[in-house]
Structure 1
Amino acid sequence: MVVEIEMGWRQLLFENYPVDPAIVEPHVPDGLDVDTFDGSAYLSVVPYTNIDVRPKGLPAWAGSPLPELNLRTYVSHDGVPGVYFLSLDAQGVPGVLGARLLQSLPYYYARISMDSTGDRIHYRSTRRHPGARHAAYEATYGADGDPYEAPEDPLTEFLLERYRLYTESPSGRLRTTAVEHEPWTVYPAEADVTTNTLFAANGFDKPDSEPVRYYAPGVDVLARRSQSV
């Protein structure tokens, strides 16, 4: 039985590239519609760390950390908006295996380091998953402006205020997982990205558009059980 999971998402950079929807559509399963904002789909690179990852009901001290990096896009199913993950790189072997087996999420094992100097986060990820395409990412990032609530801005709300993720099982069936957390508080972000091969690893050319970037200190999250749609 798949349990519900509690965790915290911390020190996130959302690096959001507007792209032509036709670029994204071949990478999204049948049954999901690519969501757009002012005619653009988005590909988003999100480095961060999970903290206190544990089954619902256990105390936070019983959880474990799980630094992570994902490439995602935005979709809907029968009008219900959500996130579709193209790839997820994570440090913890048990978490990677569990997410692959139990939630059909495209996780890959990676070596990830994450530390800080003052108000800047230094993040580095290198994929080490056997048989997977190489993917690496390195950046220094942090807040660069005043905080605001994501629902206050239409684009920020479109990109961040999503409470459902969609996946495709090995048999081709769509599945969904609901997530619960408070609305995002975000800052405009400054980022110096020195390495990013996630797009190539997922079959995309690097977008020629300028990304919209946000930094978020984080939220506490409850992930419900995955279910068929």
Structure 2
Amino acid sequence: MTIEDVTPTSPRAVRRSLMVQSWHDLSFLHWPVEPDVVQPFLPAGTRPDTLDGVAYVGLIGFRMVGVGPVNGPGVPYLGTFCETNVRLYSVDGAGRRAVVFRSLDAARLIPVLVARLGFGLPYKWSRMSLRRDGDVFTYLNRRRWPGPGRPESRMVVRAGAPIAEPTPLEHFLSARWGLHVEAFGRTLHIPNVHPRWPLHRAELLELDDELVTAAGLPAPGGAPVSVLYSPGVPVRFGWPNRILSGLPHRIDRTPNGN
């Protein structure tokens, strides 16, 4: 199997949009983890994606803006909200690198229900806020539904200087052009495209997080090995592909629904 290169822009085109959105004011925290630890959390037909034999767990806070179907425009009010996700990194039998979400906390109930019912994504409804004070960003999260429990997260990050050329690790953790999700008894790959990430160095000032362990993952050991900030990018998602026997199978959508 040939695994696609880690590239700063998408290695594949999205010919027909499923939805559009923008991601603003993102902070990325990452910790190393053994591949065997994350394998049980990945969808069938995928395995951990690693860099130099190491897998990673990510905690990412940001503001979702202008979510809308097909080519937009975004849905007023409901299409803009705060989000925090816990994620892993995967590769499938066709060599496509992707993200696997263990949880996605969002501050709007209707998008949470649509994503859970329509795509099988593990969205959670939460009380959330994102505050900016100069170059310092504070992400607050308290889960409302579903349970069990109401895990909380507080993350405070100071954005620093722009990164002219990301390191191999920074590329590996940010340049992801799709997601793998297990939904309705099958594993799907959903591609996305967006401009190259404008990344900044960042400093973690405070972290009090229960989301990683609530997602079933081991508590991070120590400080994150990578802390990044980005002002954001516009994003376009394509229609999903089904993963079958290590090969992609297109789920076509025609205007008459056949």
Determine if the TM-score, normalized by the shorter chain, exceeds 0.5: yes
Contact 2:158–2:205 (CA under 8 A) maintained in structure 1? no
Match of 1:203 among 216, 236, 244: 216
**Amino acid paired to 1:203:** G
TM-score normalised according to structure 2 size: 0.81
Q: Structure 1 residue 144 and structure 2 residue 169: aligned?
A: no
What residue number does 2:256 align with? none
What is the distance in 1 between the residues matched to 2:158 and 2:131?
12
User: How far does residue 223 in structure 1 lie from its aligned partner after superposition?
Assistant: 1.2
What is the distance in 2 between the residues matched to 1:227 and 1:62?
29
User: How far does residue 193 in structure 1 lie from its aligned partner after superposition?
Assistant: 2.8
Match of 1:105 among 121, 145, 158: 121
What is the distance in 2 between the residues matched to 1:165 and 1:182?
17
What residue number does 1:18 align with? 32
Match of 2:198 among 168, 185, 200: 185
Instruction: Evaluate the alpha carbon distance shift between residue 131 and residue 209 of structure 1 in structure 2; reply closer, same or farther with a 3 A threshold.
Output: closer
Structure 2 portions without partners, runs of 5+? 1-16, 244-258
Structure 1 portions without partners, runs of 5+? none
Contact 1:181–1:219 (CA under 8 A) maintained in structure 2? yes
User: How far does residue 59 in structure 1 lie from its aligned partner after superposition?
Assistant: 3.1
Q: Structure 1 residue 72 and structure 2 residue 111: aligned?
A: no
Q: Determine which structure has the larger helix proportion and give its number.
A: 1
Contact 1:37–1:155 (CA under 8 A) maintained in structure 2? yes
- The structure with the largest alpha-carbon Rg is 2
Equivalent pairs: percent with the same residue? Answer: 32
Q: How many residues align?
A: 224
TM-score normalised according to structure 1 size: 0.91
Within a 5 Å distance, the mapping from 1:126-137 to structure 2 comes to 126-137=142-153
What residue number does 2:99 align with? 83
Match of 1:224 among 238, 241, 255: 238
Per-residue CA shift, 1:143-186, capped at 9, x if unaligned? 1233335xx42111111111010000142x10111111011110
Please list every run of at least 4 consecutive aligned residues from structure 1 whose deviation after the TM superposition is greater than 6 angstroms: none
User: How far does residue 54 in structure 1 lie from its aligned partner after superposition?
Assistant: 1.2
SS in 1 for 2:199: strand
Superposed CA RMSD:
1.7
Per-residue CA shift, 1:29-72, capped at 9, x if unaligned? 22111011112100000000111111233335747212100000
Contact 1:19–1:209 (CA under 8 A) maintained in structure 2? no
What is the distance in 2 between the residues matched to 1:146 and 1:109?
33
What residue number does 1:35 align with? 49
